[in-house]
Structure 1
Amino acid sequence: MQDESGSRADQRQQDEMPAPAAERIPSENPPIFNLPTGILAALGIVIGIYVLQDFVFSERTNQWVAVEFGFSPIRYLYPLGEQSLAWLWTPVSYSLLHGSFEHLAFNSLWLAAFGTPVCRRIGEVRFLLFWIVSSIAAAALHAVVNWGEPSLMVGASGVISALMGAACRFAFGDRQRVHARLADREPRLLSIGQALSDRTVRVFVIVWFLGNVAIAFGLPMMGADSAAIAWDAHIGGFLLGFFCFALFDPHSRKAA
């Protein structure tokens, strides 16, 4: 009887003991899709706008929204003082509009995947600034490539490409993630050379650029509408994110 009581007491003692540190690691390192506030807000805005356009606004209103908030290179051929101020806000506002549910769903998925580590690293305020600057960079290259064209560009793909470029500087590779987890801090920002010397980053960049070059030459990548994909905006955003992310990253000053 005493032995049995002693066993039960020992069992209760073991049950009350805290879990080993190794078992607690997942709670200290939440999964990537535990979305931060900035990403939830961005998703809420782009989804909310699409819902309004698809279910509330009339066709005439949607046409006005597309013209006044979508980005068009031809706008800059005319004197800015002789038109509305749409030339001022459209290099950013176009990134909040989407042309179809598939377009919205695809961009939302990649925004959650690549925006999450970037937003966690730099915070909501810097993330907003990064969104604005990267959307302008994407629109700028699109305007250069399509100068004078009456095209109309919408979608967050340029910003998402910038997030992909930024992630290449700190989030790729097991080595970076393991070191950060062990040190309980954000991974250090890799230099351009260090990032390109990492095999994971190098393969990702090559495949990403080859895909966009294929789109530029008209190779169908995502269905019949793939020819309308703004590959140049993707490249403009990616280059901004990859080469300029240190300007937005508060941790870059702490790098050794």
Structure 2
Amino acid sequence: MTDEPEAPGAPAANGEQVSERRHEPAFNLPGGLVVILAVLVVIHAARTYLLPTLIDNELVFNFAFLPARYDHPLAEQSLAWLWSPVTYSFLHGSWEHLIFNGFWMVAFGAPVVRRIGMARLAVFWCLSAAAAVALHLALHWGEMTVVVGASGVVSGLMGAAARFAFSPSGRISRQFAHLNRRLTVVEALSNRSVLVFAGIWFLTNFMIGLGVFAFGGAGAIAWEAHIGGFLFGFLLFDLFDPRK
């Protein structure tokens, strides 16, 4: 934390000038992002402490993403196939799952929100969530597996941030990363900091897929959805970014 220059205050009664020193807040998140995190917490708390198990199971069945839905005629089932590619991102399997996603959402979501605003973020959230499970669906067609969590969206935010958050020195400024120039895809792939970041990220997810990092079992983590979300954010961020 660094101090900003002193700003003059109102004159005191004795005619002297009162100076105030302003400080950068230690915890400063966009309001919209705080609302999203609060909604995720409220949803999971309600499922954990208020809803009976049978009702919660019904909720998960209707709002989580299931690849098996798309192996059956859509006309013979409810419309869950239509909204579940987005609604699954608001459900989480445990508090640890939610906290983990929330941590990375704070880290990478804040600069993206500051840059594109909440209206664009809403569209980005829906499309990145759908893109994430689209890749998962392609590799797990017809399987009766349940996918929940905002990990695909968080991965999309990471991919988007990789297009602008790194300064020429490779560092990320917590408060001012959103003001950087957006790199083209070619420029980003030529940036050492971006390559190191993306390389570590992809390596970690591939190791999860191979079972090296099996948090609750490799099958418990939809790592393919992470990759789908990251590629969406990285390759298509131009469509959401108003800055030249």
- TM superposition score normalised by structure 2: 0.86
- Of all paired residues, the percent bearing the same amino acid is 48
Aligned length: 229
Paired residues of 1:219 and 1:227 also in contact (CA < 8 A): no
Tell me which residue corresponds to 1:51. Answer: 45
Q: Distance in 1 between matches of 2:140 and 2:60?
A: 18
Paired residues of 1:38 and 1:127 also in contact (CA < 8 A): no
Name structure 2 gaps, 5 residues minimum: 1-13
Q: Distance in 2 between matches of 1:154 and 1:100?
A: 10
Residue 180 of structure 2 aligns with an amino acid whose one-letter code is: P
Q: Distance in 1 between matches of 2:238 and 2:16?
A: 48
Does 2:232 align with 1:250? no
Cα distance, 1:15–1:117 mapped onto 2, change above 3 Å: same
Paired residues of 1:166 and 1:245 also in contact (CA < 8 A): yes
More helix by share: 1
Question: How big is the shift at 1:187?
Answer: 1.1
Q: Distance in 2 between matches of 1:14 and 1:213?
A: 64
Q: Distance in 1 between matches of 2:222 and 2:181?
A: 32
Q: Distance in 1 between matches of 2:133 and 2:122?
A: 17
- TM superposition score normalised by structure 1: 0.83
Post-superposition CA distance 1:13-48 (Å, at most 9, x none): 9974676xxxx6x64xx66x4111221121111111
Structure 2 residue matching 1:163: 3-state secondary structure: helix
Q: Distance in 2 between matches of 1:214 and 1:73?
A: 23
Tell me which residue corresponds to 1:159. Answer: 153
Superposed, which structure 2 residues align to 1:206-245 within 5 Å? 206-221=199-214, 223-245=215-237
Q: Distance in 2 between matches of 1:131 and 1:59?
A: 28
Cα distance, 1:172–1:60 mapped onto 2, change above 3 Å: same
Post-superposition CA distance 1:211-239 (Å, at most 9, x none): 11111111125x33444100100000000
Q: Distance in 2 between matches of 1:227 and 1:244?
A: 28
**Greater CA radius of gyration, 1 or 2?**
1
Cα distance, 1:38–1:136 mapped onto 2, change above 3 Å: same
Name structure 1 gaps, 5 residues minimum: 1-11
